């Protein structure tokens, strides 16, 4: 079976599409065949960002952006479909613009019917809502895939995904799985870098390296109630956005010092979560865009010298493809009518078949 996984995260940088082949005998978690990346146009990022806060004509703007995203996702999938004319489905996360599990809803924009129409391929979307309906957080969903792909009886492992939000998956050798969102990842660092340098992200963390951590600012940031909450928990721009960051600033800070402090916040959030919830774990594998931020990786190692840090590439999947690969796996679970959530992670009352299906 071939399935394409499509992921566009909280960072609003672009879309990853991965063609995955599943073979129950040799590769039950799937094997990457090909992949494609499309960056978001600047105007689209601006329009998506505007929907994160209440505004005029929201329903129409959201519907139009859902169509725009479907076309972009279809374009990202087009070269992959040439490699797999018998592709079973496109499993598309969509673009999160609101995530309110405490209010009983989540919203990821994509017009699934249009995506199916444009690609002549079955589309599966809206993966989070069923878990929320069962009392869960709806996120993170990737730990179930991490368990299928990376769990081993040889040692206890942690998978740390540093996307817009950072989340961790704890995989012990006895088959137990836990996971939760633990800190802002690239979201705030990217936004601050874009605003002050014009670059969409801080290459290798070099700009953060040029600054100094501001202890008082760090204390204000880490006082956010999210850090004290116990799992299950998930986060997004509702908790960590530029408006919240502004409330923590005095206005006298040097921009590079703020960047250094945001990097420190992410590193502390990740390492403290590991220390508190997986004190015996020593093997940590990184994925997501933050895995390429060498300043962040070095800081993680400094804060937790007892950990062995590596990339998920050592486990067979490139760090920037793990989430899209995960949604291909989740889409396959949907097609096979198998659960896609892990109740120990999301807090749902029971396992659920996830996603809405738009047949080709």
Give residue 27's pLDDT. 78
223 has pLDDT over 90: yes
Tens digits of residue pLDDT in 116-157: 999 999 999 999 999 999 999 999 999 999 999 999 999 999
12: left (phi over 0), alpha (psi -120 to 50) or beta: left
Give residue 330's pLDDT. 98
Half-sphere exposure of 215 toward its Cβ, with a 13 Å CA cutoff? Answer: 0
Give residue 201's pLDDT. 94
How far lies 125's CA from each of 4, 50, 78, in Å?
Answer: 12, 22, 18
Q: What is the mean pLDDT of residues 93-102?
A: 95
Tens digits of residue pLDDT in 203-215: 999 999 999 999 9
7 has pLDDT over 80: yes
State the pTM of this model: 0.95
Q: What is the mean pLDDT of residues 23-36?
A: 88
Structure tokens, 288: 């997501």
Q: Which of 322, 289, 265 is nearest to 204 (CA)?
A: 289
CA dist 343 and 339 (Å) reads 10
Q: What is the mean pLDDT of residues 272-281?
A: 96
Q: What is the mean pLDDT of residues 100-125?
A: 97
Determine which of 51-65, 121-135, 251-265 has the lowest per-residue pLDDT on average.
51-65
Give residue 138's pLDDT. 97
In the structure, how many helices (H) and strands (E) does the chain have?
A: 13, 13
Q: In the structure, what pLDDT confidence band is assigned to residue 35 with cuts at 50, 70 and 90? A: very high
52 has pLDDT over 90: no
Tens digits of residue pLDDT in 283-308: 999 999 999 999 999 999 999 999 99
Q: Which of 337, 360, 325 is nearest to 130 (CA)?
A: 337
Give residue 139's pLDDT. 95
Structure tokens, 33: 């065949």
Give residue 95's pLDDT. 97
97 has pLDDT over 80: yes
CA dist 184 and 224 (Å) reads 11
Query: b/e string for 103-128 if b means 16 or more Cβ within 10 A?
Result: eeebbbbbbbbbbbebbebbbbbbbb
| Residues 260/293, Cβ–Cβ less than 8 Å | no
Question: What SS3 state is found at 189?
Answer: helix
Q: Mean of the per-residue pLDDT values for the chain?
A: 96
Give residue 161's pLDDT. 97
Q: In the structure, what pLDDT confidence band is assigned to residue 28 with cuts at 50, 70 and 90? A: confident
How far lies 185's CA from each of 26, 128, 190, 264, in Å?
Answer: 34, 20, 9, 11
Domains of the chain listed by start with CATH number: 2-139+321-358 (3.30.420.40), 142-315 (3.30.420.40)
CA dist 157 and 299 (Å) reads 20
Give residue 267's pLDDT. 98
| Residues 259/193, Cβ–Cβ less than 8 Å | yes
Give residue 356's pLDDT. 98
In percent, the amount of the chain with pLDDT more than 70 equals 100
25 has pLDDT over 80: no
């Amino acid at each position: 079976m071939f399935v394409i996984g499509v992921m566009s995260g909280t960072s609003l940088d672009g879309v990853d599409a991965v063609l995955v082949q599943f073979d129950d005998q040799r590769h039950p978690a799937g094997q990457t065949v090909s992949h494609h990346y499309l960056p978001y146009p600047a105007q689209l990022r601006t329009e998506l960002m505007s929907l994160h806060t209440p505004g005029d004509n929201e329903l129409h703007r959201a519907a139009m952006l859902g169509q725009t995203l479907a076309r972009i996702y279809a374009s990202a999938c087009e070269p992959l479909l040439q490699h797999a004319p018998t592709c079973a489905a496109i499993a598309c996360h969509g673009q999160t613009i609101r995530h309110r599990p405490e209010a009983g809803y989540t919203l990821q924009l994509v017009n699934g019917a249009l995506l199916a129409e444009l690609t002549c391929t079955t589309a599966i979307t809206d993966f989070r809502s069923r878990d929320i309906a069962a009392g869960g957080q709806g996120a993170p969903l990737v730990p179930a895939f991490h368990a299928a792909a990376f769990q081993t009886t040889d040692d206890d492992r942690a998978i740390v995904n540093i996307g817009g939000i950072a989340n961790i998956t704890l995989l012990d050798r006895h088959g137990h799985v836990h996971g939760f969102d633990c800190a802002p990842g690239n979201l705030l660092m990217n936004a601050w870098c874009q605003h002050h340098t014009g670059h969409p992200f801080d290459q290798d963390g070099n700009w953060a390296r040029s600054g100094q951590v501001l202890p008082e600012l760090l204390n204000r940031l880490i006082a956010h109630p999210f850090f004290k909450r116990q799992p299950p928990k998930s986060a997004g721009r509702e908790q960590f956005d530029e408006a919240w960051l502004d409330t923590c600033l005095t206005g006298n800070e040097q921009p590079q010092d703020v960047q250094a402090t945001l990097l420190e916040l992410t590193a502390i959030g990740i390492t403290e979560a590991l220390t508190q919830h997986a004190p015996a774990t020593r093997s940590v594998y990184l994925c997501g865009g933050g895995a390429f931020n060498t300043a962040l990786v070095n800081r993680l190692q400094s804060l937790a010298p007892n950990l062995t840090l590596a990339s998920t590439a050592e486990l067979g999947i490139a760090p920037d493809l793990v989430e899209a690969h995960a949604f291909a796996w989740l889409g396959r679970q949907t097609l096979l009518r198998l659960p896609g959530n892990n109740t120990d992670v999301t807090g749902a009352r029971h396992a659920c078949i996830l996603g809405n299906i738009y047949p080709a």
